[in-house]
């Protein structure tokens, strides 16, 4: 399953914050969570990630261990071709 995670920074992140995120990402990847893209963005959200996990529970576990300097909103992503098949 694919997910879009939208992050809004609560405060300016530090170098230590990013080191902590790097550790969490490495652990998640060992457990099978794939981070396909990480973008920093302008606008309502500060960062957008595209991730893949086996289930909603696995994605939730990963995202709950995420950065304390940000709040997130997560969306389930369905490829366009699969969504069209549902019509």
Q: Do residues 48 and 5 lie in contact, with contact meaning Cβ atoms separated by under 8 Å?
A: yes
Pick among 3.30.360.10, 3.30.70.1060, 3.60.15.10, 3.40.630.10: CATH of 2-85: 3.30.70.1060
Q: What is the pLDDT of residues 7-59, one digit of tens each?
A: 999 999 999 998 988 888 898 899 899 999 999 999 999 999 999 999 999 99
Task: Supply the pLDDT for residue 47.
Answer: 94
pLDDT category, 6, cuts 50, 70, 90?
very high
Q: Quickly tell me which residue has 């969570």 as its tokens.
A: 33
Contacts of 50 (CB under 8 A, 6+ apart): 2, 3, 4, 5, 35, 36, 37, 77
Task: Supply the pLDDT for residue 24.
Answer: 87
Q: What is the pLDDT of residues 61-78, one digit of tens each?
A: 999 988 889 999 999 999
Contacts of 37 (CB under 8 A, 6+ apart): 48, 49, 50
């Amino acid at each position: 399953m694919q997910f879009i995670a939208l992050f809004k920074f609560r405060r300016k992140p530090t170098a230590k914050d990013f080191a902590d995120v790097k550790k969490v990402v490495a652990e998640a990847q060992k457990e099978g969570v794939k981070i396909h893209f990480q973008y920093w963005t302008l606008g309502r959200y500060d960062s957008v990630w595209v991730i893949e996990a086996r289930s909603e529970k696995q994605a939730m576990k990963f995202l709950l261990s995420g950065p304390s300097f940000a709040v997130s909103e997560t969306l389930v992503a369905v490829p366009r071709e699969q969504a069209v098949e549902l019509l």
